[in-house]
Structure 1
Amino acid sequence: MTSNLNNANSTPSSRAEDRALIAEIHQQQASITQLIQKLRDKTREISQTLDAASPFPFHQLPPELMASIFTNCLPTYPFCAEMVGRKSPAKFMLVCRRWRDIALSTPQLWRAMDIGSINSRYVSQLSLVSLWLQHSKSMPLSIDADSFTHIEEDTMKALFAHKERWEFVRFQLDMAKYPGLKDTTPLLRSLELNTDSYLPSSQGIDVSFLPRDVPRLRAVILWDFWMPSHFEGTATFFPWSQLTALILLYPHVSNCNEILQHTKQLIHFELIMSSSSPEGPESNILLPDLQSLVFARYGSDPDEQSETTHYISTLVLPALRKIRVCDIMIRPNPVAALKALVERSGCKLEEVCITGGRSGAKEIYERELGTYVWFDESHVGTEGWIEEDEQARARQRIADIILDMG
């Protein structure tokens, strides 16, 4: 049938023919659309058949099992996966559509963020963090931003918008700039904080974490903790009494003494001092539930002869089972210092590790302490807790304590 539209002298008959032609074209289009849909359905059916017969077992696994496998390919929560590169969960999305769909529907893959792994020269920090926050849905979050990580202000705002989901957090920031850090964080269980400078309480800024705002907080790691001596805020800066694990790195001695008066539920405690030799507390400090103790020094001379037994000579630890101590922290007589701790506390040591000590004294240690003693000579240098493996050991211990509590 030929259209008569080009005929200027169209008649009712010719226009009727044109309308019939249009109807015929519509019918043909509908037939073609149906054919295309049938071909698509057939293609999908064949693809599913091929997938089912695939020699690769992954294609036959149910999605929930695949999701579990993906999760176990990443660092165990709360430790964070890199957000870009081969170690990122984004790699699963590159294999095929099915893997991509499973990855995007598994929020556990995206809840632990190593922000330091983002190179802002190649990818927007804010965009990637926002994407992970979206993919993680309502899951509790683990956020790792070490001292070398610059968190852009917009990125920090995005993280603070999800503050109610924070569970394990590591930050270096100026609390005067982010006073909201102390506001309600109902899920927060572990906080590692480098305040970037002395705490701004002397400036009239309230930085105290109230128990009602952090009801689940049980572990704290504080770097360079110092409050001015005239400010009476150390005791209320954290709800110390509810903590079960505490690591203090290079604290001011007066702050440290006051903190330990309020930490009666500690199970694990680490004290890392600078090369200066501080005075210990004026009276004994009882930590009735402490099971593991670490004493270390940073920036010290392994051959230094100054007496540094102040802290260990004032502690009473009846539940102590494990101790890891830098030899220089218990001089001039390390064996006598540890033996006095055991006798004063009435504890029974099960594991003793001496770092930077003289392994030739092993038999003397074991005879006097009545337990196995080993020497870790890998930490004889001046780096101390700055070494990555020392930090990994400490953070693993913190995570184990928190997760064991359920």
Structure 2
Amino acid sequence: MGKDTPPVPLPEGQNTSILTLPTEILIQIFLYYIPIYPECPPLFGRHSPSILTNVCRWWRTTALDMPKLWRAIHVDLTLSDKPTNLYQKGIVETARTWLVRSGGSPISVSLTCHQIHAIDAQDLNMPATEILLMECARWEYAIMRLPSHLSKKLYLKQRFMPLLVAMRLTSVGITSEQALGQIHAPRLHTFDSRLSQDLHYFKLFSSDVWSHLTTLKLRDIPLDSAWPILQGTPALRHCWLELWTPGRGINDYTGTILRVLLHLETLIVTSPTTILPPCEPFLRGFVLPSLRRFAIRLALMSDLDPPGSLTDPLGIELLVHVLQCWMCELQVLSILKLPLDGTLDQPIQEAFQNIAYLELNRSNNAWYPNPEFWGVDWFS
């Protein structure tokens, strides 16, 4: 599976028109055939550059001489329920071939590993992860769903990724996170992550990397971990916090020094859990003068506030107060997971009648921001 099939010779007098195309046009056709970089094409089948090598010798020669065709590599080891079968081993070998064909080009890599502890899954995850990590100096875009465990032989104290600009990292095992070491990525501006150990965020990057981030999404993050991270991200323009567990006590942020994020334009605060974190004191700890777009699950404002402290148990007045603390001119406001019967629609519309675009979301399904209104296209 790691090798292309031999090119099929063209019968004499048939389809010879493809042989008359100038090489420059053929190159453009090939580039249009695959997804736009940095999106990764499939290793096999439709829209895979491997298909282009099977038409004729000229197409094969042209394709193999185009590093741009092979510079976006997606390795998905979850396509089969049998992680040790030959098909999946062929995926790893094909990815290795593409890495060679991409030459010295910057690359976009995507890795989806089995996040289980079975020995056979580990045996396959290891070579797939290793071949991509060996090329990390060429990474420009990376989406990495790491295995639950990696051998210590992959551990490095530091990894240098001088070209990396955007990264999505998902991990359920501390050994995989430790294997990455400290990442030096001076060009990194977009980071989306879910780690098994929140303290590892402070080991993953140096303070310089955090200080240059402009887009940040943290998944399954407690407030007490998000707070110090945001203290070190002064350049942020877009931030999405997917909160998990209450974390520290409700008053732990009261009285702390206000954190001013001068450049933050977009803030999204969601939570998939039914045990909602106390979000209002946390949000009051910021001043966000440039904020223009804000989305929040309204229940995060009120469900865990101290008894007797609220004149509005629904959190609407608290939300109004938070927006006043931020000293911003909000243009887009999305309030998520509202009651299906619409009972809160009127008081919300009255409270935020000056907002140009007000979205009242009643769905219990996962909400995703429309890039047209939200100024950023998050990792899908």
Fold equivalence (TM over 0.5)? yes
**Superposed displacement of residue 246, structure 1:** 1.2
2:278 paired with 1:295: no
8 Å contact kept, 1:308–1:328: no
The corresponding residue for 2:131 is 158
Of the three residues 118, 121, 132, the one matched with 2:86 is 121
Q: Which of the residues 139, 157, 167 maps onto 2:105?
A: 139
Structure 2 counterpart of 1:222: 193
Match of 2:212 in 1: 242
Answer whether contact 1:279 1:310 (CA < 8 A) is retained.
no
Amino acid at match of 1:188: L
Q: CA deviation at 1:363?
A: 5.0
Q: How many pairs were matched up?
A: 334
Partner in structure 1 of residue 290 of structure 2: 319
Query: What secondary structure is seen at the aligned counterpart in 2 of 1:221?
Result: strand
Q: Which has the higher helix share?
A: 1
Name the residue aligned to 1:67.
Answer: 27
- Residues 354, 65 of structure 1: CA spacing in aligned structure 2 closer, same or farther, 3 A cutoff? farther
1:184 to 149, 153, 160: 160
Alignment of 1:15-164 (within 5 A): 51=16, 54=17, 61-116=21-76, 121-122=86-87, 123-146=89-112, 148=114, 152-164=125-137
Q: Secondary structure at the match of 1:263?
A: coil
Q: Which of structures 1 and 2 has the bigger CA Rg?
A: 1
Show structure 1 runs of 5+ residues with no match.
Answer: 1-43, 401-406
Matched, 1:168 2:141: yes
Instruction: Measure the CA separation in 2 of the matches of 1:186 and 1:103.
Output: 28
The answer to whether residue 169 in structure 2 is matched with residue 193 in structure 1 is: yes
Across the aligned residues of Structure 1 and Structure 2, the Cα RMSD in angstroms comes to 3.9
Distance 2:317 2:39 in 1: 39
**Partner-residue secondary structure (3-state), 2:53:** helix
1:21-50 Cα distance to aligned partner (Å, 9 max, x none): xxxxxxxxxxxxxxxxxxxxxxx9x869x7
- Deviation sequence 1:104-151 (CA, Å, 0-9, x none): 232222211111166653252331111110121122111111354766
Residue 265 in structure 1 maps to residue 232 in structure 2:
no
Q: For residues 199 and 295 of structure 1, do their structure 2 counterparts lie closer, same or farther at Cα, with a shift above 3 Å needed?
A: farther
Q: Match for 2:358 among 373, 376, 395?
A: 373
* Distance in 2 separating the partners of 1:253 and 1:156: 31
Question: TM-score under structure 1 normalisation?
Answer: 0.69
| Alpha-carbon distance in structure 2 between the residues aligned to 1:47 and 1:181 | 61
The percent identity for this pair of structures is 23
Q: Which residue in the other structure is 2:305 paired with? A: none
Deviation, 1:234, is 8.3
Higher alpha-carbon deviation: 136-145 or 169-178: 169-178
- Report the Cα distance in structure 2 between the residues aligned to 1:354 and 1:391, rounded to whole angstroms: 14
Instruction: Give the letter for the 1:121 counterpart.
Output: L
How far apart in 2 are the matches of 1:320 and 1:341?
12
**C-alpha distance 243-307 of structure 1, shift in aligned 2 (>3 A):** closer
- C-alpha deviation, 1:291, in angstroms: 1.0
8 Å CA contact 1:170–1:191 kept in 2: the answer is yes
Counterpart amino acid of residue 300 in structure 1: T
Whether contact under 8 Å (1:225, 1:250) holds in the other structure is: no
| TM-score after normalising by structure 2 | 0.73
Query: Residues of 1 paired with 2:180 and 2:102: CA distance?
Result: 32
- More deviation, 269-278/125-134: 269-278
Deviations 1:230-255 (A, max 9, x none): x9858847731111111111124432
